[in-house]
A and B are shown apart, each in its own frame.
Chain A
Amino acid sequence: MNRREFLQVLAAAAGAGLPLMSRQALADQSWDGLYDVPRFGNVHLLHMTDSHAQLMPIYFREPSVNIGVGEALNRPPHLVGPHLLKHFGLKPGTPEAHAFSCIDFESAARRYGKVGGFAHLATLVKRMKASRPGALLLDGGDTWQGSGTALWTKGQDMVDAILQLGVDVMTAHWEFTLGEARVEEIVNNDLKGKIDFVAQNVATADFGDPVFEPFTLRQINGVPVAIIGQAFPYTPIANPGYMVPNWTFGIQEDQLQDVIGQARSKGAQVVVLLSHNGMDVDLKLASRVTGLDAILGGHTHDGMPQPMLVENPGGKTLVTNAGSNGKFLGVLDFDVKNGRVAEWRYRLLPVFADALPVDPEMQALIDRVRKPYADKLGEVLATTEDLLYRRGNFNGSFDQLIVDAMLEVKQAQVAFSPGFRWGTTLLPGSPITMEHVLDQTAITYPATTLTDMPGSMIKAVLEDVADNLFNPDPYYQQGGDMVRVGGMTYAIDPSAEMGKRIQDMRIGGKPIDADKTYKVAGWASVQANAEGEPIWDVVSAWLRDRKTVSVGALNQPRLIGVSGNRGLL
């Protein structure tokens, strides 16, 4: 029995409830070598994305359902659990296996502890920068939204945090839900001369003039490197368009090709797209656009241990995706010789809070930011008996609480809750605080609504969202998960065409009548006139009425035609 096997036996014993050793003592030795990433080559890029304003360490369960259809069938990122470990050659029972998969989530989480946290991330960034002189830190966006403090400070806590962290270049998505004026204020003041905010695909709606710099050209150890920005192409559709009334987005392939040409003609020997497209969109883009060495991607929150290498008419492009919630730091090394990339190395490093000491300066900043809100954030609303999480194609357990609360508080027959991919995880037995509720709900358009909807409209809504998730052409996807539902059941055939995916819709066992009207509760409407109590008030009031909550069976749809799909367990 070698040390690793011994540790696995210990872990199994601990998982079974045997009090052999403390978690810290168990875990300490498993970290050996995790962060030993020798420098390679001469161009170094560090990449973080989709932290969703999680300044503190958290738990985050990776999905057990992430179905791929069409070309995406059984291909990264649409692999979960053991399928993902097998594809990437990761050993079960290791810290990496826990970071990248949902396998035995609760026992592994108790063993390895929390992930992320900017004070721990800062330590890792400093280590990587120390071993990689000249390295740039890139932030793929979704940084200024996702927590109570980010909402209440209009993103200021996160702006201060990324300045402290030493981010060099960023692009954006949820940042835009602070509104055009606030984004411009931050870019033109806080970030000026410190962080390049790049987005080649954001233009004014009237004349199509660029709103931001499309790219930045930097020298890394004497090598000119261009970082092009790609903001989330469907921001005014997936989020309220009225937040960005004067700006237009889109994928803008032709323009991107021009920008790559400009960067190369200015001498760039390495050209990288810092992208918030989502991984499936990036994979298609990489097959059609030439001249990119890599696409460092986010949005779809896929923690991919290794890149995909995509062929296109001009050569090959690496496509990565770096997970979410501050859980990972991507490290991409290029060896550039004779003006071009000769070789590369990539690692996506999990940020384990127990394995990385806090950076005192970052911790001081976090403490300062949180202090005024400590009482509000810390209010205990209830205790959960079950594991609470969101991520996955269909209802997670935290969503189940949210739709249950909406049904009861709003006196609705059906409840819809958006399929966001952010939202942290709570272990069984944990208190649910106001902070945790805000981690699931903190957006700038939180109004809850109650609408009379005919059955035909309910079907149309489900079909519309399902097509955003399962359209076989990724350019027609928006990168969220399926809308979460309460009060009704349905079946779904992800591979069917739009209009035929959603079947067998029922309320209380009875088929939903297309012409009958139902009371439907929702939140996060993208319409400008939505009015109602914020979702966090609805959920927190419902939780306060209960000392403990348990979720019971998740209201997930019956799946059709998914046998052999390695995007589910």
Chain B
Amino acid sequence: MGKFLVRRLLQIIPVLFIISFIVFCLVFVAGDPVALMLPEDASQEDIEQLRESLGLNEPFHIQYLTYMAGLFTLDFGESFRYNESALPIVLERLPATIELAIAAMVIAIVIAIPLGIWSATKQNSPVDLLATGGSVLWKAMPNFWLGIMLILLFSVTFGWFPVSGRGTFMHLILPAITLGTGIAAEMTRLIRSSMLEILNQDYIRTARSKGIRDFFVINKHAFRNALIPVVTITALQTSTVVGGTLITETVFSWPGLGQLLIQAVNTRDMAIVQASVFVIAFIVILMNLLADIIYKVLDPRIKYN
């Protein structure tokens, strides 16, 4: 296990290297930020001067090498907008995003596990039809639309929750529901189909033949087996969750990484974009690593050598 961890952690380095290259290329292709940074009536001279001071007149490979040199010391350069080093700004926003993501995952798990198990054990019953139909409907609902509808209903009409921003627990609820129920919809279907498959396995019949109560047959013998594919797919979807966070944060003006990234893209604040994507990539890789570890804990058949 220790060796496996070290190897997996070392694998992160080339992955991050490739990702940073792709991000650099994308930002490079996206165009010149200078035009956006200066007022419309700025002279050509001013533009040239700013370009030079930012190192933007250098050829591609020189810019890339400068960027990479900075990367080794985790220096993504200065934000054009904040005039500060980019990484600390990004890291400062991270806790808000993590808070939202965790709250959403809690909601997703609390809904999806019981509902998925229930609808699998009562296949084709009204509960099952409602759960599967509901999850398709929910999955089809765009995050931003659901978010706006929740704001309209619960914040504007009823005034129960704040419209936007972060601060109290009440601020967290609507964005967490927006993000979490979407994840729950997908997870419910996954758990259901996984459970259905497991419930037909021979060892479930063995468990029943021992006289074990249905509750334990389902929750001990079946659920742990059903969880294995669910964990894998959920971990692979971390990037989808991150995508959802970007949208949800924008809708709710949640001061997280997503909101920062979207603003940075709009203002072509290269340093922030690069630092944010780098951090997000790092998180996604970590989540996948975590999934592998959980996998190992759940399934004794898996060996990492």
A binds B: no
Interface residues of chain B, those whose CB is within 8 Å of chain A, are none
Interface residues of chain A, those whose CB is within 8 Å of chain B, are none
